[in-house]
Amino acid sequence: KEYFMREVLCTSLAGNRCDVLTIGKTTETAPCVVISARVHSGETCASWMIHGLLDFLLGESPEAVRIRNMVCVKIIPMLNPDGVICGKSRFSLAGVDLNRMYSDPNPNLHPTVFHFRELLQTIPNLRFFCDFHGHSKKQNIFAYACSPSRLNR
């Protein structure tokens, strides 16, 4: 489809693909939404959420067509492919929680987070970012967010 593109963001420690899916407008002036998932490989519900999101965004409903015509959506469906493939529940092959590496990722030990962070910094019109997770105790849908006082750190 002309409004869908799949690219390799990078390869993981084990050489697995970490893909970026782009849906909708691809001009630099288009507002951009970024969604990631599976930084914790055991949170399989994140894959189901991404699957539903892709079904919707690639569908022919008037809402999906309108979104594609207005916005660039970038989806990184699996930030920890090695953990998923090797059956880890939370950590990468480097033995770390990749969700704790965003402030200073090592390109050799945490390549997916390193390249994802670089991608985020190159998007000129980033309007929204959401990372899909699961939770061991919370049920249904919920959200955590940064407080405004922490945004300028």
76-130 pLDDT, tens digit per residue, is: 999 999 999 998 888 999 999 999 999 999 999 999 999 999 999 999 899 999 9
Which residues lie across from 129 on neighbouring strands? 34
Cα pseudo-dihedral 81, 87, 91, 93, rounded to 10: -70
Inter-residue contact 81 to 40 (CB < 8 Å): no
Average pLDDT, the chain: 91
**Using 50, 70 and 90 to split pLDDT, how confident is the model at 71?**
very high
**Using 50, 70 and 90 to split pLDDT, how confident is the model at 140?**
confident
Which residues lie across from 8 on neighbouring strands? 19
Hey, how many other C-beta atoms are within 10 angstroms of the C-beta on 66? Answer: 11
Please give the model's pTM, rounded to 2 decimal places. 0.91
Encoded tokens for 54: 């892709």
Q: How far is CA 43 from CA 22, 70, 81, in A?
A: 23, 31, 12
